Amino acid sequence: MKRFAYELSESWKIAVAQMRSNKTRSTLTALGVIIGIVAVTLMGTAIAGIQVGFDKSMAIFGDDVLYVSQWPWKPVDDWWNYRDRKKIKTEYAEPINRIIAATPNSNLVIAVPTSSLLRSVKYGQSEVSNVLIRGTVSDYLITSTFDFKEGRFFNDTESRGGANVCVIGYDVADALFPSESPVGKSVLINGQPFRVGGVISRQGTFLGLFSLDSIVVMPLPAFQKYFSAKSDSDILVKVKDKTRLAQARDELTGVMRRVRGLPPEKKDDFSINEQQALKSTLDPIKNSIAIAGLFITGLSLFVGAIGIMNITFVSVKERTREIGTRKALGARRRTILLQFLIESTSLCLLGGFIGLGVAYVMCTGIGQAFPSFPIRFSLGLVVVSMAVSILTGLFSGFAPAWSASRLDPVAALRYE
Amino acid sequence: MTSDTRSSEPIIIDIENITKDYVMGEEVVHALRGVSLQIRSNEYLAVMGPSGSGKSTLMNMLGCLDTPTSGRYEFNGRDVSSMTDDELACIRNREIGFVFQTFNLLPRADSLRNVELPLVYAGIDAETRRERAAHVLQEVGLGDRLYHKPNELSGGQRQRVAIARALVNDPSIILADEPTGNLDSKTGGEIMALFEDLYQRGHTIILVTHEADIAHHARRTVRLRDGLIESDDGGFDGLGMLPIEGPLEADVTAYR
């Protein structure tokens, strides 16, 4: 054991001396690992960032809300079966709510109808296109949580009366009213004026794909009056207890079948969706992005490892006589193996440290330049990249170190 | 009764009928064809022979760098011929001090570190290592060169460092392979004087050389030819091929 410790410290000294005496070579070789570690670490931060963004985006749907829709939130093979389904109508909300009210101990709280389509929104000379226009009722606030930057949501009276009022998303407000308050002003949608009653505070983007702040919400009767033709409707149903989601789902299925008047032998002609289902659809995509990313960046690290392996082979070749001498003086196979493994590993660790430093600087830089870019630098990442460096060193050093340890002392001593 | 102490000294190396074959391409080379040799403690022996005589092969055997194809080799009573690589490494580390023609010092390490190396492999702590390395360097006359690197030393000094390294583990034998081969004759003479001194102090020295002048320093000369022992003077210059045991005692007295 003591002997092992001395051999270890001896190997470490040799490794340091070796790196110092071959500075250029060591630097160039370590460069491969540096680049590899930078790539892997940056990919790691990006993946961690995507994960955070993903969770944040998912939270928007609420984990206690069921969505009654024509289409399920997952890829389907037999899309034609879904295409011919009857559309979900906003009017269903009323009978659903009646049944909920009549059911004792119902798992459901309330059903809220929504109907949406994309339109341009104008104010004066400014225009924002592709804004999600959504018609709903004042209870919408129960199923969808958001705060108001200013103003308020429309109340029940406005909702039922179908007044030309609306609340606008942060982006819409920002684009149309850069220097004034939108509250009380009227925006034009489809040529119709709608008085702005409030501005929703910033929601961010969904998976970084589209903005959740490019939205206008208005009372359902007003929406139907002007836009009903091509809109898609969903019923949002709030669940009482999110731990009993499955029961709530079954209950809602029963309710919907009653509303639709389906005989028992017929299949459901609607889909009940939830955040979890969306998550399990998107998770594999997210994971394969992560795996593909790590694989590609891992390749660069692999190239670095090959460089280390190569240089360790050269080092073994160059020092064949030294190895012979060491063996003659009593170095065992293990000693020689250890010596070269430590050499390659310390080179990799050095590269790993520098790479991590570079990655940290780059992360901070990217984070400041593009605040919206999801990037996360964590202690776990430091530990992982150090471990990866060590593994790379062991991996790349093993073959040359093994061949060195197996050298015949006689042949090694005679090597020119 | 007799002043001779040699025959009562313990046998360190006991080789019996060893052979060594090498395969070179298609051909099998019989480097050693059956060599028997006994070496006792505090002998000063030269192994001579032209190139191709099996001299180097025998040296590798004696130094436990290689194992024989057949035959028996006992080192201090332990059978070496069937040992594993690591066991052999252990024997080399503790029992054998190597001195090479080309010195074979680690270029980037100072004298102290070079001499310490066998002690590292023996698992001795750093403080004792320093002490002992400094001590043997002192003994070979390099007390003022402890921190010099090989490229800061002359050839003779380098060989002295190598000899110090060979001595540091207090080995049973010192095995020197053409120790003066890379030195001028004056420096070579100094190194041979150092070996003589070590011999006088009780060390066992085996010299492998092809130079008669160098072999002349030894007390006993073994000549090899074609993988066989051609002559073994048993320890007496000019007395011919006498067996080492038996009637030798009288002659020893006469010699002294």
pLDDT, tens digit, 9 for 90 and up, residues A333-375? 999 999 999 999 999 999 999 999 999 898 888 888 877 666 6
Task: Tell me which residues of chain B, numbers 7 to 46, contact chain A at a CB-CB cutoff of 8 Å.
Answer: none
| Distance, CA of A276 to CA of A280 (rounded, Å) | 6
Q: Which residues of A touch B132 (CB under 8 A)?
A: none
pLDDT of A57 above 80: no
Nearest CB to B65: which of A2, A7, A409?
A409
Q: d(Cα A352, Cα A387) in Å, to the nearest integer?
A: 9
Does A332 sit within 8 Å of B85, measured CB to CB?
A: yes
Is B92's Cβ below 8 Å from some Cβ in A?
yes
- A69-83, B11-25, B204-218 — which is least confidently predicted? A69-83
Q: Which of A132, A128, A217 lies closest to A177, judged by CA?
A: A128
CA B29 to CA B18: how far, in whole Å? 14
How many whole angstroms separate alpha carbon A386 and alpha carbon A356?
A: 8
Instruction: Check residue B100 and give its pLDDT.
Output: 93
Nearest of A153, A243, A176, A202 to residue A371 by alpha carbon: A202
> Residue A345: its pLDDT value, please?
92
Q: CB under 8 Å to A307, separation ≥6 — which residues? A: A28, A29, A32, A33, A396
CA of B240 vs chain A CAs: smallest distance (Å): 33
| Cα dihedral B72, B78, B84, B86 sign | negative
Q: How far is B224 from chain A (nearest CA, A)?
A: 20
Nearest Cα to Cα of residue A112 among A87, A79, A71, A141 = A141
Look at residue B248 and tell me whether its pLDDT is greater than 50: no
A242-260: string of b/e by CB count within 10 Å (b at 16+)? eeebeebbebbbebbbebb
Interchain pair A17, B108: CB under 8 A: yes
Asked if the Cβ–Cβ distance from B123 to A410 is below 8 Å, we say no
pTM of the model: 0.72
pLDDT at residue B251, as a whole number = 42
A residues 310..339 contacting B (CB < 8 A): 321-322, 324-335
Cβ count near A210 (within 10 Å): 11
Confidence class for position B229, pLDDT limits 50, 70, 90: very high
Which H/E stretch holds residue A123?
Answer: strand A108-123
Beta bridge partners of B74: B14, B79
On chain A, the residues whose CB falls within 8 A of the CB of B149 are: none
CA distance B224 to B37: 12
- Given its phi and psi angles, is residue A247 left (phi above 0), alpha (psi -120 to 50 degrees) or beta? alpha
Q: Which residue has the tokens 């226009």?
A: A133
* Interatomic CA distance for residues B123 and B133, integer angstroms: 14
- A256-296, pLDDT tens digit by residue? 898 888 888 888 888 888 887 777 878 888 889 889 988 99
Average pLDDT (B3-28) is 82
Please check the confidence at residue B153 and state whether its pLDDT lies above 90: yes
What are A42's strand-pairing partners? Answer: none
CA B248 to centroid of chain Cα atoms: 24
> What residues does A215 pair with on adjacent strands?
A132
Nearest to B121 among A322, A331, A408 (CB): A331
Cβ atoms B137, B75 nearer than 8 A:
no
Partner residue facing A322 (CB), from B94, B98, B106: B106
Look at the block and give the residue holding tokens 């206008």: A216
CA distance B141 to chain A (A): 22
Start-to-end CA span in chain A (Å)? 35
Residue B238 is predicted with a pLDDT of 41
Name the band, by pLDDT with cuts 50, 70 and 90, for residue B7. Answer: low
Do residues A58 and A278 make contact, with C-beta atoms less than 8 angstroms apart? yes
Residues of B in contact with A322 (CB under 8 A): 104, 106
Q: How many CB pairs under 8 A join A and B?
A: 70
Chain B residue whose CA is closest to A22: B108
Would the pLDDT of B235 be above 70? Answer: no
For residue A147, what pLDDT is reported?
Answer: 81
- Evaluate whether B22 touches B31 at the Cβ level (below 8 Å): yes
Task: Please report the ipTM that was assigned to this predicted complex.
Answer: 0.87
Q: Is the pLDDT of residue A301 over 50?
A: yes
pLDDT at residue number B236: 53
On the question of pLDDT at B252 being above 60, the answer is no
Residue B3 has pLDDT above 60, yes or no: no
For residue A325, list chain B residues with Cβ-Cβ distance below 8 A: 100, 104, 106
Measured CA distances, B96 to A338, B93, B137, B191 (Å): 24, 6, 18, 19
Q: What residue ranges in A226-365 does DSSP mark as E strands? A: 232-239, 271-273
Judge contact between A336 and A327, C-beta under 8 A. Answer: yes
Q: State the number of CA atoms in the 13 A half-sphere of B95 facing the CB.
A: 19
* Model confidence pLDDT, tens digit, residues A192-248: 899 999 998 887 777 666 778 889 999 988 888 888 766 788 888 988 887 888 888
Return the beta strands (E) in chain B as ranges: 11-24, 27-40, 44-48, 70-75, 78-79, 96-99, 173-177, 205-208, 220-225, 228-232
Quote the pLDDT of residue A17: 84
| pLDDT for position B5 | 47
Rounded to an integer, the average pLDDT of B99-105 is: 93
- As a dihedral over the C-alpha atoms of residue A17, residue A18, residue A24, residue A28, rounded to 10 degrees, the angle is -120
Please give the pLDDT value at position A72: 85
Pairing of strands A232-239, A271-273: unpaired
More confident residue, A211 or B70: B70
Q: What is the reported pLDDT for B254?
A: 40
User: Where residue B242 falls among pLDDT bands split at 50, 70, 90?
Assistant: very low
Cα end-to-end distance, chain B, whole Å: 14
Select from B58, B96, B66, B80 the least CA-distant residue to B172. B96
Taking an 8 Å cut-off on Cβ atoms, the answer to whether B117 and A329 are in contact is: yes
The pLDDT of residue A21: 84
Rounded to whole angstroms, the Cα distance separating B155 from A128 reads: 88
